[in-house]
Amino acid sequence: MERPIIDEHTRVLVMTGAGISAESGLATFRGAGGLWAGQPVERVATPEGFAADPALVWRFYSQRRAQAAAAVPNRAHRALAALEDRLGDRFLLATQNVDGLHQRAGSRRVVEMHGSLWRTRCAVCPAPPFDDRTPVEPPLPRCTRCGGLLRPAIVWFGELLDAADMRRIERFIVGSSPGRAPLVFLAVGTSGNVWPAAGYVGMARSVGAVTWLVNLEAAENVGAFDHFVQGPAGEVLARLLGVDDAV
């Protein structure tokens, strides 16, 4: 099987989505059985949905907290943590996932583009988000600073991604401009439907990256990749990255 060339100069930017946690038993978003099937996205993943029915939104994210807490990282998460051990600062993992499984597998250089299930913030004032693992039930919790309702620290549709997160990803890509260290861009378990995540493959290509997609099915943006390896992330990544971890 063809593999990405990762030598002592190569920098690797990984972009993961819900598919990488599927083998840990967590549902993806799109398609049959996905989190968005039978669940209108705008009711649970927009500021307007939260304003209309905060208890429903908290019920949804409390269930996801419980499911993610019960899940364990799989072979794919571990393969990426092992790669980071080898590459150090030549590695960056941008994830759209909010489940925290990458960190539990040992990944440290992680950008959580869409926020985290494990943080809560005020829906009204800029009080900093705080760590929170508890399921939330009515009466809904309120901000100690301004009295506004608290909400999950997830980036919902219609909201901006954290500018510092985007800069960190872009700086990593630009740090690999032509003439500098070669860049491998590897997307795993993502349908390529959501921007800006789906666009980083294009930015990486513009600086000469070799681009790989590992996914169960062809993603929306599959045409933007040099290589597409179809299959379950755990098995494929262990082979592609040469990680000997059969569990």
Q: Which are the catalytic amino acids?
A: 114
Give the shortest CB-18-to-ligand OAD separation in angstroms.
Answer: 4
By the rule CB under 6 A, 219 interacts with ligand OAD: yes
Tokens linked to 239: 């082979």
Part in contact with ligand OAD (CB under 6 A); list of ranges 22-30, 123-131, 163-171, 174-182: 22-30
- Tell me, what DSSP letter sits at residue 229? E
- Candidates 73, 93, 96, 100: give the one binding ligand OAD (CB under 6 A): 96
- 240's enclosing H/E stretch is helix 233-240
By the rule CB under 6 A, 114 interacts with ligand OAD: yes
Q: Is there a contact between 107 and 84 (Cβ–Cβ < 8 Å)?
A: yes
In whole angstroms, what is the distance from residue 110 CA to residue 102 CA? 8
Give the shortest CB-108-to-ligand OAD separation in angstroms.
Answer: 21
Part in contact with ligand OAD (CB under 6 A); list of ranges 6-14, 53-61, 100-108, 211-219: 211-219
- Candidates 6, 12, 13, 18: give the one binding ligand OAD (CB under 6 A): 18
6 - beta bridge partners?
Answer: none
In the bound state with ligand OAD, the residue whose beta carbon lies nearer, of 11 and 75, is 75
Q: Is the dihedral of CA 98, 14, 234, 8 positive or negative?
A: negative
- Tell me, what DSSP letter sits at residue 9? S
| Site for ligand OAD, residues 55 to 84, rule: CB under 6 A | none
Before 139, cis peptide (omega within 30)? yes
In whole angstroms, what is the distance from residue 16 CA to residue 44 CA? 22
Give the shortest CB-76-to-ligand OAD separation in angstroms.
Answer: 7
By the rule CB under 6 A, 49 interacts with ligand OAD: no
Part in contact with ligand OAD (CB under 6 A); list of ranges 26-34, 51-59, 136-144, 174-182: 26-34
Give the shortest CB-235-to-ligand OAD separation in angstroms.
Answer: 8
- Candidates 84, 118, 189, 224: give the one binding ligand OAD (CB under 6 A): 189
Q: Is there a contact between 216 and 232 (Cβ–Cβ < 8 Å)?
A: yes
In whole angstroms, what is the distance from residue 169 CA to residue 161 CA? 12
Secondary-structure percent of the chain, ordered helix, strand, coil, rounded to 5: 35, 20, 45
